[in-house]
């Protein structure tokens, strides 16, 4: 186990040094294995924004990315930087970073035995999955607006609703393109199985994104999604956060009405109704 695995931070913002020189050769090999597999799968499954971001930051240069090398490029493109954290950080710390255009990325990398699934976000999930999207100016604005909204949601006690918005967009979002549906969510793009499942399997619902509907929808963290929400553009996502007056929305959400992950509502614009043939699907999950 390298010195990087699950260190603790003694800073108020939970950051640590990445210490890129401490990664072992085998840890670099794990990144290369995951990178090569995903980039092959995503060539015609990921949205342009993600593929362009991978190139712009040269994340395929070989080995685990050194934040000192990718940050100047990312800063130039959209004013974001990646900061290293041991793993999940408290919600408010997370929102504070996003609101200041800092993306907290786990510094540890999964082992070869965990190639297909790791419980906590490791550097591959965070830097391969999330960071390329931060090179897209509109999505970068959405992520900062999300962070600011998160700090407000904590005050209104509406964290669960906001976490659902993050889950169904930043983590598991799909976008409509002239070539068909494409992936932009990091939870999908960093997973070999879900990259195929999210676009090609008949069992999940694919429903048009609507802010309040998504914020009321529960989700499962240990299996593929039962529903994927589809946006038309990143601008639609950004506008939803900046054009919405959240105070009355938070009042309405206080009624506690939630939808189950597989629900299809009469008010939904259904792009593809799932076959609902649910079985535990995540391989080895």
| Binding site residues, Fe ion, CB under 5 A | 121, 186
For ligand HBI, the closer CB: 190 or 227:
190
Q: Which stretch binds ligand HBI (CB under 6 A): 41-49, 53-61, 87-95, 238-246?
A: 87-95
Q: Which of the listed partners (Fe ion, ligand HBI, none) does 166 bind, with a CB threshold of 5 to 8 Å by partner kind?
A: ligand HBI
- Shortest distance, position 125 Cβ to Fe ion, whole Å: 6
Q: Which of the listed partners (Fe ion, ligand HBI, none) does 198 bind, with a CB threshold of 5 to 8 Å by partner kind?
A: none
- Shortest distance, position 130 Cβ to Fe ion, whole Å: 6
- Shortest distance, position 129 Cβ to Fe ion, whole Å: 6
For Fe ion, the closer CB: 99 or 186:
186
Helix (H, G, I), strand (E, B) or coil at 171: helix
104 binds ligand HBI (CB under 6 A): yes
Choose among 99, 25, 17: nearest CA to 63.
25
Q: Which of 94, 124, 128, 168 binds ligand HBI (CB under 6 A)?
A: 94
Choose among 237, 233, 141, 127: nearest CA to 189.
127
CB-count burial class (<10 Å; 0-12, 13-18, 19+) for 39: middle
163 binds ligand HBI (CB under 6 A): yes
Q: Which stretch binds ligand HBI (CB under 6 A): 74-82, 86-94, 195-203, 237-245?
A: 86-94
For ligand HBI, the closer CB: 244 or 276:
244
166 binds ligand HBI (CB under 6 A): yes
Give the chain's length. 285
Q: What span, in angstroms and rounded, lies between the C-alpha atoms of 237 and 16?
A: 31
Phi, psi dihedrals of residue 169, rounded to the nearest 5°:
-120, -75
Which residues lie closer than 8 Å to 235 by C-beta, 6 or more apart?
138
DSSP element (H, E) containing 251: helix 246-253
Interface size with ligand HBI, residues (CB under 6 A): 9
Q: What span, in angstroms and rounded, lies between the C-alpha atoms of 251 and 257?
A: 12
- Shortest distance, position 104 Cβ to ligand HBI, whole Å: 4
Q: Which of the listed partners (ligand HBI, Fe ion, none) does 91 bind, with a CB threshold of 5 to 8 Å by partner kind?
A: ligand HBI
- Shortest distance, position 174 Cβ to ligand HBI, whole Å: 18
Pairing of strands 180-183, 174-177: antiparallel
- Shortest distance, position 91 Cβ to ligand HBI, whole Å: 5
- Shortest distance, position 212 Cβ to ligand HBI, whole Å: 17
| C-alpha of 1 from chain center | 26
For ligand HBI, the closer CB: 104 or 185:
104
For ligand HBI, the closer CB: 163 or 230:
163
Pairing of strands 205-208, 180-183: unpaired
Residue 264: how many CB atoms within 10 A of its CB? Answer: 14
Q: What span, in angstroms and rounded, lies between the C-alpha atoms of 191 and 130?
A: 12
Q: What span, in angstroms and rounded, lies between the C-alpha atoms of 248 and 260?
A: 23
Q: Which residues contact ligand HBI by CB under 6 A?
A: 85, 88-89, 91, 94, 104, 121, 163, 166
């Amino acid at each position: 186990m390298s010195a990087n695995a699950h260190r603790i931070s003694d800073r108020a913002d939970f950051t640590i040094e990445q210490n890129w020189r401490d990664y072992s050769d085998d840890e670099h090999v794990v990144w290369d294995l995951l990178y090569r597999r995903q980039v092959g799968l995503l060539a015609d499954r990921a949205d342009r924004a993600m593929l362009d971001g991978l190139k712009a930051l040269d994340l395929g240069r070989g080995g685990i990315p050194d934040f000192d090398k990718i940050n100047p490029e990312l800063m130039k493109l959209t004013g974001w930087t990646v900061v290293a954290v041991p793993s999940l950080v408290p919600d408010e710390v997370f929102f504070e970073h996003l609101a200041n255009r800092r993306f907290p990325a786990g510094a540890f990398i999964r082992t070869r035995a965990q190639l297909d699934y790791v419980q906590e976000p490791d550097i591959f999930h965070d830097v391969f999955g999330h960071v390329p999207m931060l090179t897209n100016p509109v999505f970068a604005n959405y992520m900062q607006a999300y962070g600011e909204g998160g700090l407000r949601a904590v005050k209104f006690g509406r964290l669960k609703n906001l976490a659902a918005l993050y889950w169904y967009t930043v983590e598991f979002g799909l976008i409509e393109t002239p070539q068909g549906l494409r992936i932009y969510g990091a939870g999908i793009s960093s997973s070999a199985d879900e990259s195929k499942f999210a676009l090609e399997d008949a069992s999940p619902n694919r429903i048009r994104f609507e802010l309040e509907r998504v914020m009321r929808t529960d989700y499962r963290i240990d299996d593929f999604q039962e529903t994927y929400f589809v946006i038309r553009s990143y601008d639609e996502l950004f506008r939803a956060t900046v054009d919405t007056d959240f105070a009355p929305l938070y009042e309405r959400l206080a009624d506690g009405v939630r939808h189950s992950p597989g629900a299809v509502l009469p008010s939904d614009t259904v792009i593809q109704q799932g076959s609902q043939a649910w079985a535990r699907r995540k391989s080895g999950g």
